[in-house]
Structure formats: structure tokens, C-alpha cells
Amino acid sequence: MERKSIIWKHIKEHRMSYLFGFALLSIASVLQLVIPTLLGVFTDRLEMAELTYKEALTFALWMVLAGIGIALFRSSSRIFLFRLSRLLDMRIRDELFKHWETLSTHYFKNRRVGDLMSHAISDVSVIREVTQNGIFNTLEAVVLISITVVTMVTSVDPLLTLLTLLPLPLLSVLAYRFKRRIQKESTSVQEAIGDLTSRVQEFVAGIRVVKSFLQEKEQIRLFRQDNGHAVAMNRKLVKSNSLFGALSSAVVGFSFLVSVVLGGIMVLHNRITLGEFVAFNSFLSLLMGPIENLGKVVNTMQRGKASEERLLAILNTRADVADDSNADPSVQTIGGEIEIRNLTFCYPESKEPALRNISLKVPKGTSLAIVGRVGSGKSTLVHLLVRLYNPPKGTVFIDGREISEIPLQVLRGHVGIVPQDQFLFSTTIRDNISFDPKPYRDEEIEQAAKLAQVYDNIVEFPNQFQTALGERGISLSGGQRQRVSIARAIIKKPSILIFDDSLSAVDTETEDRILEGLDTVMENRTTIIIGHRISSVQSADQIVVLEEGELVERGTHESLLEHNGIYADMYHKQLLDEATRQQEQEWEEEAVDGVSDYKEPVQSRQGGEVAAAQDSRAGTKLASGGRAG
């Protein structure tokens, strides 16, 4: 059900506490009337020269007591009410974070980190401000203004009260006129803060690219531009606020003018006493604070409304990937058989399908390799298997069940994925490997690290598995990060393990060792390997080639080579590259050895020897056949 309010819901839920705070504030407000009243009587007694020292002392004592009472009740009410707003603050942040966790990756792909942070920090603070000073000032204004006006009418003069307060309704006219303007400007300020935060976040995340492309100056220029814009937006808001405050004060000042002139005339005509005149002006002073605060409240409320609307828009965003009504809670585990039937998939904001009419079957415990050019749809296919996006109904089946029938928790709990972006959290290596909700013993973590071929690297660090990683794991090399990600996936012993091009940053020897280690872990489990290097996929039971979203070849390594299509082409090109690289390495070694006739043999070799070397390397690879052999 769509949520309509955050603030009002909170007030309703805590109404008893708000009533209590209101009661404390009301006592403080009543006590505030004591001082002007005493001041009036005191002035009259003084004017009539009837005041004794003892009486003067008694007046002073009562005033001090009233002052202490006001301070006590007012601050207790403030503490009490402010505590409630802190509670709301914490609750919205919790709700926001919890809700974000339910939303799909698609939602986050379309948003900037800066905007999300601006919601979590600035918008939530504005809402707190509404329930903190906004509510406190409103309650105080309502109580104090009503009882003070009644006292002014009954204890001094109704006409003087009426004429003095006559300009005050102008304040509501002002508030109305400034309402839209302040709300609009407040939204612009929050957006500018979002831009600025995004700029800093992007700069930090891309610091290596920035430095290697000498982009520091350009980044400073862009930052200054965003910073300047944020300041300009803030200035605009401050200007409106100040103008509103100044006009409100002018209205209030006009009331004082009426009170002094009219009140003075009334004293001269003996319609009121001097003491009543003094008391009246003190009452008026009492009113001015809350009335001016009311102006600020209107402002705060407008900003609060803008922030509440933005937060509600997030909280009312429905998760596009969630457990369907047909999810079967009796499914507690998955075996690992995958079937894809005529799958055509289009990303929500894209017109062209990323996958077209794909059909394939991966029996439980077997391995599938997916190869294909950049952007051919490999990652999309595996993302659908963990429902990062929803595949169309009737296209993806696991263990013969429609994927939507498997509760998301079960599906994701039993599919381990090593994503292309090996994101690591800024915590220890141990916590990064044992990331699953299930706790793991040290031996299990070490075993996973050994299988992922990263154990030897980790134990070389002074703090070993307790080594803390910086944001995005920057203290590890690309290959080490990939292997920690692999350990994180295999520790789960998932029914389906997916490597999304996650062996690209390791050398072929390490890759072989990882794949060999997996044989034990993945016995009777299903493995999907996406790779650009033939060496990482050639041993799979089944290899498919994707081309512009279509499945264009399928078979084993040998059958695909025989077919002599895209796969065979990729294979031969890679062999050629590898042979050339190896040959170049040998020449470099010879050159380092200081052979005097260095130039001549190199030139002669360029003709025939490279081809010979390539042939022999190709022969070796084919003969060994990698793991498949």
C-alpha cells in the first residue's frame, strides 16, 4: 500500500508522548505570564509610592521562582520532544536503508550515489528539523499566543489588544506568498548537494583514472562549478528566508508601534494604568518570539514537505524483483539443473533485446561455458539466473521449476556468483570471504582461499586474514581481488557457481590451478564460466557462443573447433597471440644475455620462425587440451 506521510504517521504513533511534551510546554507558557503580570502590579505600586522593601523583595522572589519554573518545564518539554524527533530520524534512515536493499540493481543503475546520500542525510535532517523545532515552536506558539491574548483582553483592554494584533494576520499572507518559492528553492539546494556529493564520490572512485589521464585540473574545475552552484542555490534560499524574516519582523514592529502609541494615549486618558501599559507591552514581547518563530516554522514546514515528498517517492518505489505470488515456500534448496526456453530479454529502458530466442539446457553437475564478443549478452544471461532482472515468464527454469517459483532467498542462497566487478567491502579479508549470512569457521575460510589460489598472498600480509581493505579493496591487486571474490563465492558451496569473466586478471597457470581446485568443490554442482580466454572455458562440458544476443554456436571444445566458426576463429587468434608473445619474450631474454649479433637473427626470424613457433605452441595446447584433454 502506498505510504502517504512520514511525519504525521510518526506523530500519530507517538501521540501520548507528544501530549505529555505539550503538557510540560503549557505549564511553562502559563508561568511565562506571571512575570509581566507581576511587573504591571509592581509598576502601579511604585507609581503610587506604596511599595515597601519587603514587598519589592517578595516581587523579586516570585519572579525568580517563575523564571526557574519556566526554565525547568520548557527545557524538559524540549528534551522530551527532541528525543522523539531523533527517534524519527533514526527510524527513517533505517527504513530507507532497508527499503533500498529490497530494490533491484536496475534502480541503483539509474541513480547517482550523491543523490542517494543527499536523501539519506539532508532530507532526513530536514524532516528531523520539522519534528524538532517545527513541532516545538508550533506548540509553543499555539499555547502562548492563545493564553497571552486572552490575558491581554481580560486583564488590560480588549480594544487595545484588537488594534495591536490587527497587523499580525499579514504574517499568514506573507507565509502563503513565500510558501512555493521556499519549497522550490529548498529542492534546488538538495539537488545541488546531490550533484556535489556525486562529484566527490566519482572523483574518489576514479582517482587512478583521473591521475593517469592528468585530469586533476579538470576535476577541480568541475568540482568548483558544482560547489559554486550549491552555494548559489543556498544563497537564493537564504535570501528568501531573510526577506521573509525581515518582512515578518516589520509586521511585528508595526504591532509594537500601535501598542506604544495607542497604549500611551490610553494611559494619558486614564483608560488604563501605567502598570497595565507596562504589563501589556511585556505580554506583547512574550508574543513576538513565538510569532516570529511561526514564520520560521512555515519555512521549515515547506522544506520538510519537499523532503518528505522525495523520501516518500523512494519508500513507495516498488521492488521490481521480489518474491512473486507463485513463489513456493516449500522450496528450500535447489539442485542445479538449468533450462532456458526461447528466452528473449530486453532491458527496461532499452528498445533492442539484449538476448534473442536463447534455448539451452545445463544438466545438474555439469559445466557450461559462455563465450562471445564484448556486449554479446553473456552477463545478461547469468544475471537473469539470479534474478537481478526478471526474465519473462516461462523462459528460465531451475530443477524443472519456473524460476519465479523459487523464493529469492533460496535462489540467491544457492547460486554463487563471482561478478565481473570484483567489489570488496572495506572490512577485513576474512569478512570479505565469509560474506554469506551463514558464519564460517577459520578452516573453511582458509580452504576457500586455498582453492581460489589466494591463500599464499594473504598469509604474506602482516595481519593475514585480518588485513583490512580500503574502500573497494584498493590495497589488493586486480588479480588478488578477483581471487578473494572467487573464495567468497565458493565458500558457500553453491549448487550453481557462476564466474562472470572472473579469471581475466589471473595468469594462465593460476587459472589452471583454480579450475583444478574447483573440480573437488563443484562435484555434482553446476558451473557456468563466462570467459574471453579459451583456456578458461575449453574444458567445459558444453560451450555456447553468443553473438549480438543470439546463441550462434554450441558444442564441446573439439566439436566447435571442427565446426570452424566463431569459436575456432577466437581459438586460433589467441594461439597466435600467445605464440607471438612467447617468441617476443624469448628474443628479449636473448637480447638481455648480450648476444653480439642480436639484430641479424631477429630479422631472419621474423620471416619463418614466428610461424613455426606458433604452430608448435598450437600443437602443444591442442594435444594437452587443458583440463578437457
Ligand X SMILES: Nc1ncnc2c1ncn2[C@@H]1O[C@H](COP(=O)(O)OP(=O)(O)OP(=O)(O)O)[C@@H](O)[C@H]1O
Q: Which is nearer to ligand X, 374 or 592 (CB)?
A: 374
Q: Which three cell numbers stand for residue 610?
A: 614466428
Q: Where does 491-552 have alpha helices with state H? A: 508-521, 534-537
CB of 494 to ligand X, least distance (A): 20
Query: Comparing C-alpha atoms, which of 121, 93, 84, 130 is closest to residue 305?
Result: 130
**Residue of 43, 148, 300, 376 that binds ligand X (CB under 6 A):** 376
CB of 374 to ligand X, least distance (A): 4
What would the DSSP string read from start to end of 86-132? HHHHHHHHHHHHHHHHHS-HHHHHTS-HHHHHHIIIIIHHHHHHIII
CB of 551 to ligand X, least distance (A): 12
Q: Is 137 helix (H, G, I), strand (E, B) or coil?
A: helix
Q: Does 375 bind ligand X (CB under 6 A)?
A: yes
CB of 294 to ligand X, least distance (A): 49
Q: Which residues pair with 360 in a beta bridge?
A: 340
Q: Which stretch binds ligand X (CB under 6 A): 43-51, 265-273, 372-380, 512-520?
A: 372-380
Q: What are phi and psi of 555, to 5 degrees?
A: 160, -165
Q: Which stretch binds ligand X (CB under 6 A): 32-40, 346-354, 487-495, 506-514?
A: 346-354
Q: Which three cell numbers stand for residue 403?
A: 524460476
DSSP 428: B
CB of 501 to ligand X, least distance (A): 6
The letter for the amino acid at 447 is Q
CA dihedral 98, 99, 104, 110 (to 10 degrees): -110
Q: Count of CB atoms within 10 A of residue 583's CB?
A: 19
Q: Which residues contact 228 (CB under 8 A, 6 or more apart)?
A: none
The whole-angstrom separation of Cα 283 and Cα 34 is 10
Q: Which is nearer to ligand X, 190 or 376 (CB)?
A: 376
**# binding residues, ligand X (CB under 6 A):** 14
Q: Which residues contact 579 (CB under 8 A, 6 or more apart)?
A: 610, 613, 614, 615, 616, 617, 618
**Residue of 263, 377, 419, 531 that binds ligand X (CB under 6 A):** 377
**Residue of 183, 197, 281, 379 that binds ligand X (CB under 6 A):** 379
**Residue of 354, 403, 484, 491 that binds ligand X (CB under 6 A):** 354
CB of 587 to ligand X, least distance (A): 32
Contact letters (x/-) for ligand X, 392-421, by CB under 6 A?
----------------------------x-
CB of 396 to ligand X, least distance (A): 15
Q: Does 391 bind ligand X (CB under 6 A)?
A: no
**Residue of 12, 15, 83, 109 that binds ligand X (CB under 6 A):** 109
CB of 588 to ligand X, least distance (A): 31
**Residue of 303, 310, 378, 492 that binds ligand X (CB under 6 A):** 378
Q: Which is nearer to ligand X, 70 or 551 (CB)?
A: 551
Q: Which stretch binds ligand X (CB under 6 A): 67-75, 192-200, 368-376, 512-520?
A: 368-376
Q: Which is nearer to ligand X, 19 or 374 (CB)?
A: 374
Q: Does 374 bind ligand X (CB under 6 A)?
A: yes
Q: Does 350 bind ligand X (CB under 6 A)?
A: yes
Q: Which is nearer to ligand X, 504 or 582 (CB)?
A: 504
Q: Which is nearer to ligand X, 212 or 350 (CB)?
A: 350
Q: Does 527 bind ligand X (CB under 6 A)?
A: no
Q: Where would I find the beta strands (DSSP E) of 455-582?
A: 496-500, 526-530, 542-547, 550-555
What's the chain's Rg over C-alpha atoms? 37
The whole-angstrom separation of Cα 545 and Cα 533 is 13
List the interface residues with ligand X, window 76-105 (CB under 6 A): none
Q: Which residues pair with 369 in a beta bridge?
A: 529, 543
Q: Which stretch binds ligand X (CB under 6 A): 144-152, 220-228, 374-382, 614-622?
A: 374-382
Contact (CB, 8 A) for 431 and 491: no
Q: What strands lie across the sheet with 542-547, from one edge to the other?
A: 401-402, 396-398, 338-345, 355-362, 550-555, 542-547, 367-372, 526-530, 496-500, 415-418
Q: Which is nearer to ligand X, 89 or 547 (CB)?
A: 547
Q: Does 110 bind ligand X (CB under 6 A)?
A: no
Chain residues binding ligand X by CB under 6 A are 109, 347, 350, 354, 372, 374-380, 420, 501
